[in-house]
Chain A
């Protein structure tokens, strides 16, 4: 192995590494025990990046996704992270944390294109419950704006890395570079949940389907029976949302201690740096 000749590198930028100034161990206390609770993802990012230095992109716009540049173990990296605290837009309207809105999808798509232009690897920190629904966002073109983000992620030529730090639900999984979007490495923290939608939401729908099918067969469904059915559905659903269920099937490469995140990203970028062949960035038709 030591006699193999050197090959050209991709040339991702790296300087001398510095540990984060803020304590990494505090991540344990910042991540809420209950997945429905809020937290500020900047508190997580600043405990993952060198020197806790993070240069945020458009901090006052599209606040439910935080984008910006930092370094991990010296490697330059563009971070795209879901913001889980409730935020307000310029008009003073509340936006729910972990949800992708029109403005945040637009911002993230633009940031990802900038990173491609500047040859900066991307790191996605997923804690996402999906895209905003409702007539207001539908009329504002949420599908079209989401499509722009999915397009930018899918067509990215710089290496992508994904860490599922909380929820990974619905099309949010896709837009935030889920397994289907070719992340070079994808890992989950042990508190992660991966599914098409949250358990409570899915439980109701699945219950309706089962009750309707049983009633069609002439069965009488009492309130007790309904509760029994729901419990059974939720047990099974929660089992399939578990990160071990995902890891068993290689939907993620590993379940990691949050304190190993920097190591995984650093070794990942070092590995990606071996491949000097990068296609020209061409996002195709952007859904404006």
Chain B
């Protein structure tokens, strides 16, 4: 046996094992407790939703599982950027799914969440790939709003893309699976088709405490 080969093999396998461990941790989103709370409310976690949606006998790949890794520590972290994006198959058709993770700050959008949403839409646009949004989002993460709101590649671009993609003939289907507020409300309504989950889904622009003083 070649000693160098064995040494290399051990080293790279260790890196792969570390990667898989980190992936497993990231997959817990905001943590096991938060997932349990979702279950108590009769809701499923973003990853569970995608798993049920995808054809079980077909492969899938995840875009940006490590998004936000070690970032935003001062805000409690943002695993997978608070949104899970996977490419797989639904009823035999290849598509891309974007699912907000309600266990990460109620699915609120961090700056990196915006970048990831735009990346998912870019993939759909470049490849004319049907896109499915499983929406469960509180909208912009207010403490960081200045980093995500007004610029060209900030959140406004997502809704602009919804319209552009519709015009391109790219299938866009949204499912409203939790409370979808403000920016979280625009996205599903800008999609070609929007479905709402009975009892758990709701959609509105602003809560009443805000509505006296501001407009969306």
Contacts and interface: CB of A to CB of B under 8 A. Distances in A.
Interface of A: 1-2, 4, 7, 27-33, 159, 182, 184-185, 189-191, 244-245, 247-250, 253-255, 257-258, 260, 263-264, 267, 270-272, 274-277
Given A31-B12, A250-B67, 13 more contacts: A2-B93, A4-B130, A28-B9, A29-B8, A159-B127, A182-B126, A190-B19, A247-B67, A250-B81, A253-B63, A254-B61, A254-B66, A271-B123
Contacts of A254: 61-66
4 A-B pairs with the lowest CB-CB distances in the bound complex, closest first? A2-B91, A247-B66, A29-B5, A190-B15
- With most chain A CB atoms within 10 A of its CB, the pick from B112, B115, B127 is B127
Interface string B50-85: 000000000101111111111100000000010000
B129 A255 contact: no
Contacts of B4: 32
A53 to B, nearest CB: 23
A137 to B, nearest CB: 31
Contacts of A258: 12, 16
B11 A248 contact: no
Contact of B8 (A4, A7, A32, A190): A32
Nearest to B68: A248
Given A254-B64, A270-B94, A30 B5 contact: yes
Contacts of B59: 263, 267
Given A1-B90, A267-B87, A184 B126 contact: yes
B61 A275 contact: no
A1 B66 contact: no
A270 B129 CA distance: 10
Chain B, interface size: which category?
35 or more
A257 B93 contact: no
A184 B123 contact: yes
A245 B128 CA distance: 30
A264 B69 contact: no
Given A267-B59, A271-B129, A190 B67 contact: no
B127 A191 contact: no
Given A250-B115, A271-B127, A255 B19 contact: yes
A250 B8 contact: no
B22 to A, nearest CB: 7
Interface string B166-195: 000101010000000000000000000000
Contacts of A29: 2, 5-6, 8-9, 12
A247 B16 contact: no
B60 to A, nearest CB: 8
B123 A33 contact: no
Nearest to B127: A271
A33 B20 CA distance: 19
B134 interface: no
Contacts of A272: 126-127
Contact of A191 (B7, B12, B64): B12
Nearest to A184: B126
A2 to B, nearest CB: 4
B63 to A, nearest CB: 5
B127 A184 contact: yes
A286 to B, nearest CB: 25
6 contacts: A4-B130, A7-B128, A28-B16, A29-B12, A257-B19, A267-B61
B47 to A, nearest CB: 15
